[in-house]
Amino acid sequence: MALHKTGLRCLILVLLCVLSGCMRVPDGAEPVTDFELVRYLGQWYEIARLDHRFERGLTDVRAEYSLRPDGSIRILNRGYDPEKGEWREAEGRATPAGEAGEGRLGVSFFGPFRSAYNIIALDREHYRWAMVCGPNVNYLWILSREPTLPDEIYDALVDEARQLGFPVDDLIRVLHDRADSTDD
């Protein structure tokens, strides 16, 4: 019985360590400070991303962030799958992570498993664009309030990401040419 309890404790400790690794910030990257979550809420268009199976092949990708009654953030990600001719959606939940005023969220689309959402660049004056990364350099998104982003801003964000070690040559520019319709 004592071995069983010890084994269970070790398993729990290992799981906690694994899960907490999902909440880190990549080496060299730093979340923005003086972050105002309320200003960040609303719709964001995905301008570019590193490829992952959960978004593979999608165009017209956007996310809507809204406040829930319990204080957490509702995330509704939506993209068009041109191969299947249909819109795909995923709903998640986020909560602030890190220090107060730090651009970090813990995001979950799959039950209790959270992953890092680190805002590492942001238009501080108008919250018009952002660059977000996950727990390592394999997760990167460039976002905008509009379906396009001026080239000079995009290029500056890509240069910043390159300096931080992100594989920016693998970025996928996201096409936005479909009407924003849920009727499809």
Tokens, residue 142: 């460039």
Look at residues 65, 60, 96, 53 and name the one whose alpha carbon lies nearest to residue 78. 60
pLDDT digits (tens, 9 = 90+) for 113-168: 889 999 999 999 999 999 999 999 999 999 999 999 999 999 999 999 999 999 99
Give dist(CA 103, CA 155) in Å, integer: 22
pLDDT digits (tens, 9 = 90+) for 27-69: 999 999 999 999 999 999 999 999 998 899 999 999 999 999 9
Give dist(CA 159, CA 147) in Å, integer: 21
pLDDT band at 11 (very low <50, low <70, confident <90, very high): very low
The pLDDT value given to residue 62 = 97
The pLDDT value given to residue 118 = 97
Please state the domain extents for the chain.
2-173
Of residues 94 and 6, more confidence is placed in 94
The pLDDT value given to residue 134 = 95
CATH superfamily, region 2-173: Calycin beta-barrel core domain (2.40.128.20)
